[in-house]
């Protein structure tokens, strides 16, 4: 995956808290969240980013970039199996990582969004295959509420999407700006409404004179 696998020094048991379900990448985007790429696809000895450094701060989700290729699923599945059978291993970083990525990636739209933001470099046939890969990886995974490192990030993402203003923005994007044509039609309709209102006001003022 072309990323450092060592755990971040910031990981500690103090970060573990109540489990939250994270929204998908598309839901975050529609609620106005920004996506920030961490790290680089190129080998950089000065880059201290690890694949586990996923955070959500100030309305932006930070995700280390990674390459998805034919060997990625087997790579992650083997590490998940190792952690699942290692009862004394704590925390289970790869389980947590696949769990949070499985929540963020539900469909090809989510993969497309992450790819366009430079977070995923897709070496598979299409974005749907990446989504299917993560959907299969999370099957049967059980992450304890008191042992997931990403609980705090999931909580922040969930609360961001539930804020009233962000819900309004999500509704507007879903219903009126879902495509360039829909957005253009909405803007044109708004301009026409404003011009009609101005014309009515001017006609009314002219009638008074």
What does the block give as tokens for 36?
């920030």
Strand-pairing partners, residue 8, are: none
What average pLDDT is seen over the chain? 82
Dist. CA 160–CA 58, nearest whole Å: 9
Contact yes or no for 186/176 (Cβ under 8 A): yes
Q: What is the DSSP pairing of strand 34-38 with strand 60-64?
A: parallel
pLDDT at 12 exceeding the cut of 50: no
Strand-pairing partners, residue 37, are: 63
| % pLDDT > 90, the chain | 50
pLDDT at 60 exceeding the cut of 60: yes
What are the E-state strand segments in 58-191?
Answer: 60-64, 66-68, 120-122
Q: Where are the domains positioned within the chain?
A: 13-175, 178-209
Contact yes or no for 54/15 (Cβ under 8 A): no
> Among residues 81, 83, 80, 54, which one has the least CA distance to residue 66?
54
pLDDT, position 122: 97
How many whole angstroms from its chain centre is CA 70? 22
Question: Look-up: residue for tokens 């006001």?
Answer: 201
Dist. CA 209–CA 207, nearest whole Å: 5
pLDDT at 4 exceeding the cut of 90: no
pLDDT, position 116: 96
> Among residues 138, 156, 153, which one has the least CA distance to residue 64?
153
* Most confident stretch, 20-34, 52-66, 158-172: 52-66
pLDDT at 120 exceeding the cut of 60: yes
Report, as an integer, the average pLDDT of 85-100.
88
> What's this model's pTM, rounded to 2 decimal places?
0.74
pLDDT, position 11: 47
HSE of 131, CA atoms in CB hemisphere, 13 A:
18
pLDDT at 176 exceeding the cut of 80: no
Confidence of residue 191 (pLDDT cuts 50, 70, 90): confident
Report, as an integer, the average pLDDT of 77-100.
90
């Amino acid at each position: 995956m072309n990323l450092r696998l060592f755990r971040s020094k910031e990981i500690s048991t103090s970060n573990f808290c109540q489990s939250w379900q994270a929204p998908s990448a598309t839901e975050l985007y529609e609620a106005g969240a920004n996506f920030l790429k961490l790290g680089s696809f190129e080998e950089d000895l000065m880059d201290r980013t690890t694949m586990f450094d996923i955070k959500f701060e100030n309305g932006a989700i930070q995700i280390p970039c990674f390459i998805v290729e034919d060997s990625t699923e087997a790579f992650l599945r083997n590490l998940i199996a190792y952690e699942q059978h290692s009862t004394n291993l704590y925390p289970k970083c790869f389980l947590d990582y696949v769990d949070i990525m499985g929540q963020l990636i539900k469909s090809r739209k989510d993969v497309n969004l992450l790819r366009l933001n430079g977070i995923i470099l897709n070496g598979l046939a299409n974005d749907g295959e990446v989504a299917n890969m993560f959907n299969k990886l999370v099957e049967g995974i059980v992450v304890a509420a008191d042992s997931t490192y990403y609980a705090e990030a999931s909580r922040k993402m969930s609360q961001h999407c539930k804020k009233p203003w962000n819900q309004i923005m999500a509704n507007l994007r879903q219903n009126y700006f879902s495509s360039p044509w829909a957005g253009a039609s909405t803007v044109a309709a708004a301009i026409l409404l404003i011009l009609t209102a101005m014309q009515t006001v001017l006609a009314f003022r002219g009638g008074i004179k």
